Structure 1
Amino acid sequence: MANVRLENITRRYHTTLAIEEINFEVPDGEFWVLVGPSGCGKSTILRTIAGLETATSGNVYIDNTLVNEIPARKRDVAMVFQNYALYPHLSVAENLAFGLKMRGVDPTKTQEIIQKVAQSLSIEHLLNRKPKQLSGGQQQRVALGRAIAREPKVFLLDEPLSNLDAQLRDDTRAELKQLHQRLGITTIYVTHDQVEAMTLADKLVILHQGKIQQIGDPQRVYSRPKNRMVATFLGNPPMNILPITYGNSLFWIANQSLTCPSAIREKLQPQEGQKFDLGIRPEHIQFITSENVIDDLQQDVWAFEKVPLDVEVSVVEPLGREILVRAYIPNSSQPHEQYSIQFQVPIHHHLHPGDRLTIKLDLNQILIFNSTTGDTLYP
């Protein structure tokens, strides 16, 4: 096992900048996930670590050894690709043994390793089959097995689950996490799927347009994003972003006013007419019914300074356990400016497009962003 350290890694393709000033260190044995939208540079970073790409500038260290000039085959890393890259003319056993054969491992020792790896991945019954005789999930296990059999210092996984259907992807993701817990090999995993990223990672590296936006443990990044891009990328449904204007100690959305908490006023010292973006996740929005108003009154927690908003339902999407409601905040003074907002309600509520509702926002969970740069200003 080994740590992986990137220092000021930049990669240019002629005049196109793919990644810029990438700095992070993955400690020995940890599982880190590079996540971000398509084209953000995730795979370029992974291929640079593997030695399949050459950095324009910067240094790559594996096990505290500078590997810039070391070819890919000698870096002692194992990479699993999106398309699995199995040899179609070889059996599963031969695919598993290929890396060991190239390294000159004794055939008897190779067979022992193959049997052990196959057993750990539950593919013993597939050893004599060819890749074309396997399902996508089985091919994925063989690709993982080939990497494991080499006993590398580092695993590099480039969207290995993206070709699987939803249920198999969920099952395989859980198996992959258990596998890492057993083996403890330093792993760097690339995905654009934020659910995979959140569930697998010890640490997330959020990327956008070739630059690192934030590094941290999944829950911390989710609850305290450094900017609007991170806030909206993580979470499903995504965080709501609402343009607001400060005035008279209030925040204004369209022609509706919201209380501006004193903690926000003290930290931001906002000026009259200053514009911000307010962020709030769908799970921190509650739609008001006569029943929950009574409950709140009885508990002495409901008051209108707790940020009510009037909205109009545009789309209702039943999800089984709850209903996702897509609504908009009407603006009578400027009807062409309608701000969308999403939230979830219990499945027993019967809502329809055109329904007018009052919702309340949890003030303890709102974020304030710079409306120009997108940087998080509060908290």
Structure 2
Amino acid sequence: MANVVLENISRRYNTTQAIEGINFEVPDGEFWVLVGPSGCGKSTILRTIAGLETATVGNIYINNRLVNDIPARKRDVAMVFQNYALYPHLSVAENLAFGLKMRGVDAIKTQERIQQVAQSLSIEHLLNRKPKQLSGGQQQRVALGRAIAREPQVFLLDEPLSNLDAQLRDDTRAELKQLHQRLGITTIYVTHDQVEAMTLADKIVILDQGKIQQIGEPQQVYSHPKNRRVATFLGNPPMNILPMTYGNSLFWISNQSLTCPPAIREKLQLQEGQQFDLGIRPEHIQLTLSSEKVNDLPQDMWAFEPVPLNVEVNVIEPLGRETLVRAQILTASPTQNPYSIQFQVPIQERIHPGDRLTVKLDLNQIFIFDSTTGQTLYP
């Protein structure tokens, strides 16, 4: 096992900057996840660690050894690809043994290792089959097994679960976590799925546009995002972002207002007319009146006094125990672009598209972001 250090790594393709200024250290035995939207540089980082790409700038250390000029086959890392990359003409046993044979391991030890790996992954009964005779989940296990059989210092996993159906993906994710707990091998895992990142990682690295946005433990990053990009990426459904203006001790969105908590006024020393983005997660928004009652209220009642937000429902999505409501905040003018908001309500609430509802934001759970830079200003 080994630690992995990336020191100011950048990678450029002609005029395109794929990654820039990447710095982090994965301690020995930890499970780190690189997460972010498509094209943010996750796989480029992984391939650079593996030696399949060459960094334009920077240094990579594996087990405290500089590996910049060491070819991929000599870095003692094992990589599992998204498409599994199994040899179709070889049996499962031969696929598992391939890396060991390339390294000159003797036949007896190779056979022992294959049996150990197959047993740990519950694929002993598949050893004589060819990849085309396997399901997606079985192929995924074989790809992992081939990596494990080599006993590498580092595992590199590039979206290995993306081709699996939802149930198998959940099951395999749990198996993968148990496998890491048992083997304790340093692992770097790439995914765009935030659920995988939150459930698997000791620490997550949030990337966007080739740069690191934040590194930390999953719950810490979720609760204390450094900027708007991180806040909106983590969480399902994602955080609502509402453009706001401060005035007369109130938050104003369109012509609706919310009382600004004293703690925010004191910390940020807000100025009249100051603009910013207010972030709040759907689980911190509550329905305060039933749709029947709200629809009976005068449409302009909220135009003059600070009241909870009034919204009009666009789409409802039943999710079993609860319903996800996608709505728009009512505005004073029909020509003004409405702001979207989403929140969750108990499944027994009778809500329909077109209903007008009143919702209340838990102002103890809000985030304030700089509207220009996106940096977190509060809490």
TM over 0.5: yes
Give 1:264's aligned residue: 264
Give 1:297's aligned residue: none
Deviations 1:33-60 (A, max 9, x none): 0000000000000000000000001000
Whether 2:331 is the aligned partner of 1:318: answer no
Change (3 A) 1:275 1:141: same
Residue 358 of structure 1: how far off its partner (Å):
1.0
Distance in structure 1 (CA, Å) of the matches to 2:101 and 2:361: 61
Whether 2:159 is the aligned partner of 1:159: answer yes
| 1:42-191 equivalent positions in 2, closer than 5 A | 42-191=42-191
Residue 334 of structure 1: how far off its partner (Å):
5.5
| 1:207-218 equivalent positions in 2, closer than 5 A | 207-218=207-218
Deviations 1:230-279 (A, max 9, x none): 11111111000000000011110111111111111111111111110000
Give 1:347's aligned residue: 347
**Kept after mapping to 1: 8 A contact 2:203/2:218:** yes
Change (3 A) 1:306 1:96: farther
Deviations 1:190-226 (A, max 9, x none): 0001111111010000000000000000011111111
Gaps of 5+ in 2: 291-304
Residue 306 of structure 1: how far off its partner (Å):
10
Structure 1, 234-243 or 329-338: larger mean CA deviation: 329-338
Residue 332 of structure 1: how far off its partner (Å):
1.3
Distance in structure 2 (CA, Å) of the matches to 1:283 and 1:187: 32
Distance in structure 1 (CA, Å) of the matches to 2:75 and 2:103: 13
Distance in structure 2 (CA, Å) of the matches to 1:368 and 1:205: 22
Structure 1, 354-363 or 146-155: larger mean CA deviation: 354-363
Whether 2:39 is the aligned partner of 1:18: answer no
Distance in structure 2 (CA, Å) of the matches to 1:148 and 1:131: 18
Give 1:299's aligned residue: none
Code of the residue aligned with 1:105 in structure 2: it is V
**Kept after mapping to 2: 8 A contact 1:286/1:345:** yes
Change (3 A) 1:249 1:145: same
Code of the residue aligned with 1:355 in structure 2: it is D
1:377 partner SS = strand
Change (3 A) 1:122 1:307: farther
1:288 partner SS = strand
Distance in structure 2 (CA, Å) of the matches to 1:376 and 1:285: 20
**Kept after mapping to 1: 8 A contact 2:257/2:306:** no
**Identity fraction in percent:** 86
Whether 2:359 is the aligned partner of 1:359: answer yes
Structure 1 residue ranges (4+ consecutive) displaced by more than 3 angstroms after TM superposition: none
Deviations 1:126-151 (A, max 9, x none): 00000011011000000000000000
Code of the residue aligned with 1:321 in structure 2: it is R
Distance in structure 1 (CA, Å) of the matches to 2:173 and 2:150: 21
| 1:224-303 equivalent positions in 2, closer than 5 A | 224-289=224-289
Give 1:203's aligned residue: 203
Code of the residue aligned with 2:209 in structure 1: it is Q
CA RMSD, 1 decimal: 1.4
The TM-score with structure 2 as length reference comes to 0.95
Deviations 1:149-205 (A, max 9, x none): 000000000000001011110110010000000000000000001111111010000
Give 2:300's aligned residue: none
Give 1:294's aligned residue: none
Residue 308 of structure 1: how far off its partner (Å):
1.8
Residue 307 of structure 1: how far off its partner (Å):
6.8
Distance in structure 2 (CA, Å) of the matches to 1:148 and 1:112: 13
Distance in structure 2 (CA, Å) of the matches to 1:128 and 1:187: 29
Distance in structure 1 (CA, Å) of the matches to 2:60 and 2:89: 35
Give 1:327's aligned residue: 327
Distance in structure 1 (CA, Å) of the matches to 2:308 and 2:335: 20
Code of the residue aligned with 1:315 in structure 2: it is V
Code of the residue aligned with 1:281 in structure 2: it is R
Give 1:302's aligned residue: none
Distance in structure 1 (CA, Å) of the matches to 2:218 and 2:86: 32
Distance in structure 2 (CA, Å) of the matches to 1:102 and 1:283: 53
Code of the residue aligned with 1:210 in structure 2: it is G
Residue 343 of structure 1: how far off its partner (Å):
0.4
The TM-score with structure 1 as length reference comes to 0.95
